[in-house]
Amino acid sequence: MRRIRTGRKFFHYRMNKKITVMPAALFIVALGLGASCMAQVMPATISATAFRPELIYHPRGNFENQTARPLRYSPVGTDFVITNGAEFFNRPLYCMNSGFRIDGGDQPEFSLYLPGRGGNLRFGIKTSAGVKWLNNAKQIITRYRPGSLLYAIRDPLLGDGKLDFTVLPLSETKGVIARAELHGTTSSVELIFAFGGANGMKGSRNGDIGCEREPVAKFFQLRPDQCAGNEFSIATNTFILRSKPATIAGVASVGAELAVADANQWAKLGDLLASTRGTNNLSVVVGHIALPQEQPVYLALQPLAESSQAVNAAGLPKLFSAAEEHRRMIAERVLVETPDPFINAAAAALNIAADAVWDDKQQAFMHGAVAWRTRLLGWRGQYAGDALGWHERTAAHFTGFAKQQNTSPIPEIIPPADEQFNLARNEAAIHSNGDMSKNHYDMNLVAVDAFFRHLLWTGDTNYARQMWPVIERHLAWERRLFRREFGDDKLPLYEAYAAIWASDDLNYNGGGTAHASAYNYFANKMAARVAKILGADPAIYEREAGLILRGMNKYLWLADEGNFAECKDLLGRQLVHPNSGLWTFYHTIDSEVPTPLQAWQMSRWIDAHIAHIPIQIGNRQSAIG
């Protein structure tokens, strides 16, 4: 473990490779502190036809005296803690760098996602005083310990006792394991579990929060009709659910008793247990096992592939320990100790999220770990590979897209913009020699930036040589499509064509922007540096980097403001737009455009001109903006 002290802050690194501290601006962006969000103004009523699944509530503006928000989760170490939270399925647990996940939440009920619905897992308790689903317990303290969910449960049925309950994704195969341990009571207590409802339903956005026709708390609730076609076979301590989307094996600790029950009785535990004496076409499996004092019991669920074998009861403790060790290694990839407990907890959660967006099968970083889980070239997830020491992931991601780079002949004339998109796109021009993806974004720009930073992390000149033709084609593509010349001296600025995270809300009508110019400045500067190492001619890249820097300082730097403008129009009077976004601030600095004095002036401009909105959260007040 390596500790680096920065003022009052300490950064710890646990890696197999020596690394350096990531740029501060990148870390700020990764934490989500880089920019504020503007709430969309919504009409008083929304018709059914106008409804969008992303909007399950009406956003409200951050107006004066309307900025108070409840603090639902409190940081304790690296944990996010809530007592008697009401949410279901709002906390994904990612597994095996794949689309498989377990959706848990404040309440101890879990939905497997295969992808597609893989069934619901619910737990309860039974004593001489009665039965109860754990969801209905009197007190539930829930902890999201990044990569796992822990519950401390108290209820009159337990007397003075406490049930500790932990759920983890498996580490060596897709699946989930739960551990329950009873403390502080000698009363006889049984753990109840029930599972079923694997029908493969995916929804419109893979069950992402806020992206379905109903909140995920309802979307993932088991409905009896979802159990149609589920068939169960039961043996000692084990069961197998067979359904069209998956075959799922379950194994519990020795002593568990299993039966098939009526899914129509899912809501009421007593009725569900009583229904095991009958038969029904809509079935779930129900199990119960005694909870010995201070001794854990386990339950694991595992989708079975043709070549896989289900675990046995004797192997459950080892399976749980392996899963916890795997979780801990990822969550502690980078440890952060600061005076702010929110940042400390956020870092561990980011480690888990960064691992989750890597897809092992596709050898690529996904757009998102849940929704938009698709392979995209140029989103910023690939930076996490190097920042967290997974250098092979960043290289594999870029290499995969490099193999599909467009190498067709360069067209003599750039095709006109697409009329069907109101001239906002130019698919024919974009998808030409040098393009590395078939997307309607300029995915190249950020990806090549990540490539050069990968070289700075690793010093891998062999990889640089392998990718050099790809980089040359990319830079020629950028010059051909996005380079704009201004003034009699024809200094270049670059158009931003849907290239960064904020791009969906940005349109420059062909003008030269600070952030796209900064990206291209850094890319050309790095290309010149790499060319010298490889024995190639650096002249074209040195010249272009110098021209971009001159153009930015002449046409975008506002000396009286101490800041770079957002853009300069290509059309009309070629006006300069002074009110830059936060992305202009951190991209130009990350790209090493400003001098140290200019960078300081820019930071002061941000302090003075970007709105700082006070948000009252419980007893804690922060300024966003």
Q: Which tens digits make up the pLDDT trace of 406-419?
A: 999 998 999 888 88
366: which DSSP letter? B
Instruction: Indicate the average pLDDT of the chain.
Output: 88
Residue 335 lies in a domain: no
Task: Sort 179 into a burial class: Cβ within 10 Å, 0-12 / 13-18 / 19+.
Answer: buried
Instruction: Considering only CA atoms, give the Rg of the chain.
Output: 28
- Count of helix runs (H) and strand runs (E) in the chain: 14, 32
- H-assigned helices in 419-513: 427-430, 444-458, 461-482
Q: Do 390 and 252 belong to one domain?
A: no
Which sign, positive or negative, has the C-alpha torsion 384, 386, 391, 392? positive
Say if residue 625's pLDDT is above 50.
no
Give the relative orientation of helices 582-590 and 596-609 as an angle to the nearest 10 degrees. Answer: 160
Spatial separation of the C-alpha atoms in residues 206 and 74, rounded to whole Å: 28
Phi first, then psi: give them for residue 15, nearest 5 degrees. Answer: -145, 165
Q: Do 362 and 221 belong to one domain?
A: no
Question: β-pairing, 91-94 with 576-577?
Answer: unpaired
305: which DSSP letter? P
Q: CA nearest 505: which of 52, 38, 63? A: 38
Task: Sort 28 into a burial class: Cβ within 10 Å, 0-12 / 13-18 / 19+.
Answer: middle
State residue 71's pLDDT score. Answer: 87
Q: Do 26 and 89 belong to one domain?
A: no
State residue 157's pLDDT score. Answer: 97
- Mean pLDDT to the nearest integer, 606-615: 87
Residue 379 lies in a domain: yes
Say if residue 37's pLDDT is above 50.
no
State residue 59's pLDDT score. Answer: 60
Q: Do 86 and 13 belong to one domain?
A: no
Spatial separation of the C-alpha atoms in residues 95 and 147, rounded to whole Å: 9
How many domains does the chain contain in total? 3
- Mean pLDDT to the nearest integer, 412-434: 88
Say if residue 186's pLDDT is above 90.
no
Q: Which of 58-72, 83-97, 233-247, 332-346 has the lowest mean pLDDT?
A: 58-72
Q: Do 285 and 429 belong to one domain?
A: no
Contacts of 551 (CB under 8 A, 6+ apart): 486, 491, 492, 493, 512, 517
Spatial separation of the C-alpha atoms in residues 215 and 219, rounded to whole Å: 6
Residue 350 lies in a domain: no
Q: What is the pLDDT of residues 127-185, one digit of tens each?
A: 999 999 999 999 999 999 999 999 999 999 999 999 999 999 999 999 999 999 999 99
Q: How many CB atoms lie within 10 A of CB 84?
A: 12
Q: Do 310 and 383 belong to one domain?
A: no
Q: Which of 216-225, 253-262, 320-329, 515-524 has the lowest mean pLDDT?
A: 216-225
Establish how many alpha carbons lie within 13 A of residue 365's alpha carbon, considering only the half-sphere containing its beta carbon. Answer: 26
- Mean pLDDT to the nearest integer, 252-259: 98
Q: What residue has token string 């009409």?
A: 43
User: Could you tell me which residues are beta bridge partners of residue 179?
Assistant: 166, 298
Q: What is the pLDDT of residues 540-594, one digit of tens each?
A: 999 999 999 999 999 999 999 999 999 999 999 999 999 999 999 999 999 999 9
Q: What is the largest CA-CA distance in the chain?
A: 90
The Cα-based distances of 121 to 198, 295, 400, 585 in angstroms read 11, 22, 38, 47
Q: Which CATH number is 132's domain given? A: 2.70.98.40
Spatial separation of the C-alpha atoms in residues 511 and 497, rounded to whole Å: 10
Q: Do 236 and 306 belong to one domain?
A: yes
Spatial separation of the C-alpha atoms in residues 106 and 81, rounded to whole Å: 9
- Mean pLDDT to the nearest integer, 526-536: 99
State residue 307's pLDDT score. Answer: 58
State residue 23's pLDDT score. Answer: 36
**613 near 623, Cβ under 8 Å?**
yes
Q: Do 414 and 295 belong to one domain?
A: no
Which sign, positive or negative, has the C-alpha torsion 463, 593, 501, 22? positive
Spatial separation of the C-alpha atoms in residues 222 and 116, rounded to whole Å: 13
First to last CA, the chain: 34
Establish how many alpha carbons lie within 13 A of residue 279's alpha carbon, considering only the half-sphere containing its beta carbon. Answer: 1
Structure tokens at 264: 């129509």
State residue 417's pLDDT score. Answer: 85
Name the E strands within 267-392: 283-290, 297-303, 334-337, 358-359, 364-365
Four-CA torsion 508, 433, 587, 489, nearest 10 degrees:
-70
Say if residue 2's pLDDT is above 70.
no
Spatial separation of the C-alpha atoms in residues 96 and 331, rounded to whole Å: 14
Name the residue type at position 617. I
Q: What is the pLDDT of residues 302-324, one digit of tens each?
A: 999 865 677 899 999 999 999 99
Residue 349 lies in a domain: no
Residue 348 lies in a domain: no
Say if residue 66's pLDDT is above 90.
no
Q: Which domain holds residue 99?
A: 74-329
Q: Do 81 and 31 belong to one domain?
A: no
Read off the pTM: 0.87
Structure tokens at 47: 């018709």
Model confidence at 58, pLDDT cuts 50, 70, 90, reads low
Question: β-pairing, 613-617 with 79-83?
Answer: unpaired
Spatial separation of the C-alpha atoms in residues 197 and 505, rounded to whole Å: 40
User: Could you tell me which residues are beta bridge partners of residue 518?
Assistant: none
Say if residue 45's pLDDT is above 50.
no
Last residue of a domain, one of 34, 50, 66: 50
Residue 62 lies in a domain: no
Model confidence at 423, pLDDT cuts 50, 70, 90, reads confident
State residue 232's pLDDT score. Answer: 96
State residue 225's pLDDT score. Answer: 96
Q: Do 46 and 90 belong to one domain?
A: no
Model confidence at 193, pLDDT cuts 50, 70, 90, reads very high
Q: Which CATH number is 429's domain given? A: 1.50.10.10
Q: What residue has token string 């009286």?
A: 560
Which sign, positive or negative, has the C-alpha torsion 417, 421, 424, 429? negative
Say if residue 291's pLDDT is above 60.
yes
Q: What residue has token string 């003022």?
A: 7
Q: CA nearest 249: which of 302, 285, 299, 308? A: 302
The helix (run of H) or strand (run of E) holding residue 350 is helix 341-356
Q: Do 523 and 610 belong to one domain?
A: yes
Which sign, positive or negative, has the C-alpha torsion 391, 394, 395, 396? positive
Residue 83 lies in a domain: yes
Residue 542 lies in a domain: yes
Q: Do 156 and 10 belong to one domain?
A: no
Q: What is the pLDDT of residues 5-23, one digit of tens each?
A: 333 333 344 443 333 333 3
List b or e across 535-571, with b for residues whose CB sees 16 or more CB atoms inside 10 angstroms.
ebebebbbebbebbbebbbebbbeeebbbbbbbbbbe
The helix (run of H) or strand (run of E) holding residue 273 is helix 269-274
Which sign, positive or negative, has the C-alpha torsion 263, 265, 268, 273? negative
Name the residue type at position 289. I
